[in-house]
Chain A
């Protein structure tokens, strides 16, 4: 593999490459793909296997397919996974709404409006991108504790409506700057207020960046473990990620197939986003360098 990796890239569609070389590269890539996917596929098949078989089978095909692990896992804890999924969904959707509204408002001001101290605030906004969240973590916790918000979803959702994910502001500023200024200048001549320009001109033209922000917010919120771990203590409030953690703590390693079944279900929304929005995801990463 290293040999092939060190071979310099050729211009795309290089015609002169020998067939054996193409075949070799494909073989290497297929091998790596298989190696990458093997753990996930194995987990999928393990969720359909009897638990005792998990420990002595490395194959991807279960000897018998049984779906009992799914209902078993679903009702394994005091609160069902249905509740956890619902909680995760509510938090994720509210976060998406908050991020899209608040970040686009701020981005519009930075990209399109002239106001005193604009560069100052913009520099501070960029500065917060570099700040690890640990530095604000404890005072935020103290604040939310004193407001009586701990053990509710508010500490996880309200910050999104205050545009604390500065990364998306930056992303939207970049996009808004690419929209021709003539459009809003013409609208302003016609007496359009900034609010109408934002709502009627900028937002409709910015669907790609809004969609990218919405998708990444959903995925990151869905996968978030640290925030819920700190703020949600009661099982009825748990997200899917916390539910899985309780599951592995309470049953330990006694019921792998049920644990895997719930793990697979928790990955399912992410996987569906991947299937349906692959282009937006990959373009989003390629153009912005998101993690």
Chain B
């Protein structure tokens, strides 16, 4: 092959270069070593900031610890007190469960309803989608919590509007019976991100299924219940799990609207807020660690429960 040799001779003799420092390093540590170099930041973070602390907080949950002295082993004391003699714990669980069980289904219902409406080849889809998504993006900020505190206060906007109809509303955020519902409304207001996920799911449903149903004379309502909803169950399942976990972790709005107290009379004492008060208000670090592990168990229970029941209602293609 003359051409090849021509090319080779054109390049001249192969230069005898020493490998660079980096090349020698790479060869020195081998491929597995190189992989661990990439993995190092994560691995260090995992061991020092996640695994170690998780185990240490499990230990702390069996102690009495105020940050000043050493942790003092108290066995199951924290847990028994939580279970038997802590009205604030009971209140915070009640508040949080009410919040989760109200806000998640309502938020998902809104998200699905609007997504179905938007998925009809409307003009202006991107504009509507953007408008509905905006509150999700802004909603976790302190600014929106402040706004909510004004909207639902005694002389706030909501009562201003009601006043025009001659209704004299209470101060919604300082009435124990209604305070939590203002937070539920705030959560529903942020239905935008599950809506976007529903829209993506709706796109995946092939149009010819609906055509076939149409031929067979299925009404639109029937098509929704028999086609759209079953085919969307994996997305509904996903959204439900993600939103439930998020709802359990909600903190900022309750903190801002109640001024950090969880009031009026513990009506907005979210679990995370109670944990914060115990840890950073009273510096009962052992007790707060026990609360954190109970939260982990509650969330794990809900997640496991949804995964176990999923096989009865979530429809997968195969």
Contact = CB atoms under 8 A, between A and B. Distances in A.
Query: Are A and B a genuine interacting pair, yes or no?
Result: yes
A13 interface: yes
Contacts of B136: 291
Nearest to A21: B120
A14 B210 CA distance: 12
Contacts of A253: 150, 153
Interface in B250-292: 251-252, 255-256, 259, 272, 275-276, 279-280, 285, 288-289, 291-292
A49 B220 CA distance: 49
B113 A271 contact: no
Contacts of A289: 197, 238-239, 242
B289 to A, nearest CB: 5
Interface stretch (A1-9, A64-72, A89-97, A206-214): A1-9
A194 B31 CA distance: 8
Contacts of A42: 157
A225 B53 contact: no
Nearest to A57: B160
A240 B31 CA distance: 45
Interface in B42-75: 42-46, 48-54, 56-57, 60, 67
A163 B42 contact: yes
B39 A142 contact: no
Given A159-B45, A164-B45, A267-B138, A113 B296 contact: no
Contacts of B128: 29, 33
A9 B202 contact: yes
Contacts of B299: 130, 132
Nearest to B191: A36
Interface stretch (B79-87, B93-101, B140-148): B140-148
B120 A39 contact: no
Given A140-B49, A264-B143, A105 B228 contact: no
Contact of A132 (B67, B143, B242, B248): B248
> For the complex, would chain A's binding face be called helix, strand, loop or mixed by DSSP majority?
helix
A37 to B, nearest CB: 6
Contact of A263 (B143, B210, B245): B143
Contacts of B129: 282
A286 interface: yes
Interface in A253-269: 253, 256, 259-260, 262-264, 266-267
Interface in B177-207: 189, 193, 196-197, 199-200, 202, 207
A138 interface: yes
Interface string A102-129: 1101101110011110100100110010
B102 interface: no
B160 to A, nearest CB: 5
Contact of B210 (A10, A132, A195): A10
A171 interface: no
A179 interface: no
A58 interface: yes
B96 to A, nearest CB: 12
A230 interface: yes
B224 A6 contact: yes
A7 B220 contact: yes
A198 interface: yes
A25 B119 CA distance: 11
Contact of B122 (A26, A56, A116, A195): A26
Contacts of A164: 45-46, 49-50
A36 B131 contact: yes
Given A1-B113, A225-B255, A138 B288 contact: yes
> For the complex, would chain B's binding face be called helix, strand, loop or mixed by DSSP majority?
helix
Contacts of B135: 36, 40
A118 B129 CA distance: 40
Interface in B157-178: 157, 160-161, 164
A102 B255 CA distance: 32
A241 B22 contact: no
Contact of A219 (B54, B137, B149, B295): B137
B251 A193 contact: no
A12 B121 contact: yes
A145 B46 contact: no
A116 B32 contact: yes
Interface in A27-70: 28-29, 32-33, 36-37, 39-40, 42-43, 54-58
Interface of A: 1-2, 4-14, 17, 22, 25-26, 28-29, 32-33, 36-37, 39-40, 42-43, 54-58, 101-103, 105-106, 108-110, 113-116, 118, 121, 124-125, 128, 130-143, 145, 159, 161-164, 166, 169, 193-195, 198, 219, 223, 225-226, 229-230, 240-241, 244-245, 248-249, 253, 256, 259-260, 262-264, 266-267, 270-271, 274, 278, 281-282, 285-287, 289-291
7 contacts: A9-B224, A25-B120, A106-B39, A145-B67, A162-B49, A225-B142, A285-B133
Interface of B: 22-23, 26, 31-32, 34-36, 38-46, 48-54, 56-57, 60, 67, 112-114, 116-122, 124, 128-138, 140-144, 146-151, 153, 155, 157, 160-161, 164, 189, 193, 196-197, 199-200, 202, 207, 210-211, 220-224, 227-228, 238-239, 242-243, 245-246, 248-249, 251-252, 255-256, 259, 272, 275-276, 279-280, 285, 288-289, 291-293, 295-296, 299-300, 303
Minimum-distance CB pairs A-B, first 4: A162-B45, A5-B113, A12-B121, A139-B53
